[in-house]
């Protein structure tokens, strides 16, 4: 975690929400470490944590009560992974009831598949409306939405907008995983319908999701890389003027910190300067010579050496 945070900080990141694997007893281990790291990094990167768990685990009342206690004490968010499950409606009802009673927001991994039969996004939006849930609900991935017919797309997006969900696309991770079959060229990009969602008034953002793990083998926690690849994968260009919001003010709003990720008179002098005069220049290079300012002062941008991970992963790790 420290290696990752040092990397993200050097690239200019201020705010991170991370999903912590929360199968018992891992939830207590991970959230304790998270709280310690959040305190260590206070004033440099603000950290938020969402508990990640299969929704069927909520049927264990003892586990659920303990999980809610741990998440609440950490000021976290209830997460979860939704699947096409015979009990999905009941699972979502319990999730929203639990989150409402505990005063917790919700952040879910949703429909990370090309199977068009899997469309729990609509069920989540309906559940939020059904329960009159007042907290924030964010959904990530939502890949299968791009495989639906136009009538279904229109219906689901209208429902998402009405329920006031926010949607985060993970373009690099989703393109890496979706349509991956040995010996076969992928046939689709794997991303959700970000433009259509945004046009309907849904708050949208892009993020990196996994970094150098089984779900995405590359990445360096660099928002510039995420934005550059999102522009190419999602065709966010032509025009580009409003596109940077997907990694700046929009995710800050989704995470409840609208004062971050934007420039404002009287605001903190926390910004990143680039050697580019126009978007084509900015997007054509990795901007490794950028200047990161915190409180108006340039920070040390040296990245941690990968060899620092050898004691954990071994010198021959991929």
Catalytic residues: 112
- 3-state SS, one letter per residue, for the chain: CHHHHHHHHHHCCCEEEEEEECCCCHHHHHHHHHHHHHHHCCCCCEEEEEEECEHHHHHCHHHHHHHHHHHHHCCCEECCEECCCCCHHHHHHHHHHHHHHHCCCEEEEECCCCCCCCCHHHHHHHHHHHHCCCCCEEEEECHHHHHCCHHHHHHHHHHHHHHCCEEEECHHHHHHHCCCECCECCCCCCCCCHHHHHHCCCEEEECCCCCCECCECCCCCCHHHHHHHHHHHHCCCCCCCCHHHHHCHHHHHHCCCCCCCCCCCCCCCCEEECCCCCHHHHHHCCCCCCEEEECCEECCCCCCCHHHHHHHHCCCCC
């Amino acid at each position: 975690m420290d290696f990752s945070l040092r990397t993200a900080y050097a690239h200019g990141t201020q705010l991170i929400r991370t999903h912590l694997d929360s199968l018992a007893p891992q939830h207590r281990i991970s959230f304790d470490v998270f709280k310690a790291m959040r305190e260590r990094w206070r004033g440099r990167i603000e950290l938020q944590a969402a508990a990640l768990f299969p929704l069927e685990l909520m049927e264990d009342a003892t586990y659920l009560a303990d999980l809610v206690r741990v998440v609440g004490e950490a000021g976290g968010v209830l997460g979860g992974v939704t699947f096409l499950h015979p009990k999905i409606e009941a699972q979502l009802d319990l999730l929203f009831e639990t989150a409402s009673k505990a005063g917790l927001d919700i952040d879910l991994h949703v429909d990370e598949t090309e199977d068009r039969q899997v469309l729990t996004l609509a069920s989540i939006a309906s559940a939020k409306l059904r329960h009159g849930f007042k907290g924030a609900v964010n959904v990530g991935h939502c890949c299968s939405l791009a495989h639906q017919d136009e009538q279904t797309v229109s219906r689901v997006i209208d429902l998402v907008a009405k329920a006031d969900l926010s949607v985060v696309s993970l373009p690099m991770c989703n393109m890496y995983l979706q349509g991956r079959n040995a010996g076969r060229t992928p046939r689709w990009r794997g991303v959700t319908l970000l433009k259509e969602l945004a046009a309907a008034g849904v708050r949208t953002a892009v993020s990196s999701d996994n970094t150098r793990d089984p779900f995405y083998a590359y990445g360096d926690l660099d928002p510039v890389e995420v934005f550059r690849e999102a522009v190419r994968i999602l065709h966010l260009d032509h025009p580009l003027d409003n596109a940077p919001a997907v990694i700046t003010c929009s995710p800050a709003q989704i995470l409840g910190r609208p004062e971050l990720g934007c420039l404002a008179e009287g605001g903190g002098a926390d910004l990143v300067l680039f050697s580019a005069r126009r978007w084509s220049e900015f997007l054509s290079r990795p901007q490794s010579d950028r200047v990161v300012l915190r409180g108006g002062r340039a920070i040390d941008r040296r990245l941690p050496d990968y060899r620092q991970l050898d004691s954990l992963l071994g010198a021959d790790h991929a």
